[in-house]
């Protein structure tokens, strides 16, 4: 009898545990949504808790939004100012399969402006895997004169020479101060994110950092292009 009862008890315990974890996840997500909605109201941003299909379609030009499966945007906050249209939102996607699957969750800031005449590039923190990739030929645009930037970031782009010209010493210095950030660009827009989601209380700082990068890009576009890189 014990041989029958014991597996039933264990199985029932697993079901209860899984049910509790699902409830806890949904509870925390609901709590996060309420906190973000309150912040959006405080700083006068439009808020939508659910998937924004138009937003997702507009993000397809960035590599981040072509990775994995199960891609979702939630908790979308947006505003339009005299200088740019800003959108900040939660984004998730899943890679791998089975026990090796991993769901990635990030807070993304998108800035759109006619002033952003940017080349196409992607910038992300460099890891040991990227160093191995570079050794076997994967693109990583390095700058011999700026080892701090090159040691901390992987930079890639459609037109390497154009990207090299755009990343002058002033811009390299700006990103060297911002280790851990990721940026992807397209003409007229860019997205900014880190490897994890922001806590609700970090949203203002996340927006401020994105605007600082916007300012750095606009400042770069006012400087003459050099071929020294």
- Same domain, yes or no: 162 and 136: yes
Domain that holds residue 203: 46-222
Residue in the structure block whose two tokens are 């209860």: 16
Interaxial angle between packed helices 203-222 and 169-176, expressed in degrees from 0 to 180 and rounded to the nearest 10 = 170
Per-residue pLDDT of 142-187, as tens digits, reads 998 999 999 999 999 999 999 999 999 999 999 999 999 999 999 8
Measured distance CA(112)–CA(86) in Å, rounded = 7
- The pLDDT, as a whole number, for residue 128 is 46
- Same domain, yes or no: 81 and 172: yes
- Same domain, yes or no: 204 and 150: yes
- The pLDDT, as a whole number, for residue 169 is 95
Measured distance CA(195)–CA(180) in Å, rounded = 8
Is 108 in contact with 132 (CB distance < 8 Å)? no
Is 227 part of any domain? no
In the chain, how many domains are there? Answer: 2
Q: Is a pLDDT exceeding 90 seen at residue 20?
A: no
Measured distance CA(123)–CA(87) in Å, rounded = 20
Give the predicted TM-score (pTM) of the model: 0.85
pLDDT (mean) for 9-37: 73
- Same domain, yes or no: 17 and 114: no
């Amino acid at each position: 009898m014990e041989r029958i009862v014991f597996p039933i008890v264990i199985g029932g315990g697993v079901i209860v545990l899984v049910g509790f974890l699902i409830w806890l996840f949904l509870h925390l997500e609901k709590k996060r949504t309420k906190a973000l909605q309150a912040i959006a109201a405080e700083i006068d941003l439009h808020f939508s808790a659910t998937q924004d299909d138009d937003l997702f379609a507009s993000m397809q030009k960035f590599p981040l939004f072509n990775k994995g499966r199960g891609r979702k945007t939630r908790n979308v906050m947006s505003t339009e100012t005299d200088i740019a249209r800003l959108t900040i939102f939660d984004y998730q996607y899943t890679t791998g399969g089975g026990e090796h699957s991993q769901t990635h969750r990030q807070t993304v800031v998108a800035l759109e402006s006619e002033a952003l005449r940017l080349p196409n590039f992607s910038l992300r923190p460099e890891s040991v895997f990227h160093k191995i990739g570079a050794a076997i030929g994967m693109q990583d645009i390095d700058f011999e004169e700026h080892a701090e930037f090159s040691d901390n970031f992987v930079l890639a782009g459609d037109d390497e020479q154009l990207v090299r010209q755009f990343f002058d010493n002033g811009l390299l210095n700006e990103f060297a101060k911002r280790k851990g950030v990721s940026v992807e660009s397209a003409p007229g827009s860019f997205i900014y994110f880190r490897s994890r989601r922001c806590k609700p209380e970090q949203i203002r700082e996340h927006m401020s950092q994105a605007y600082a990068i916007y300012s750095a890009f606009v400042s770069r576009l006012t400087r003459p292009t050099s071929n020294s890189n």
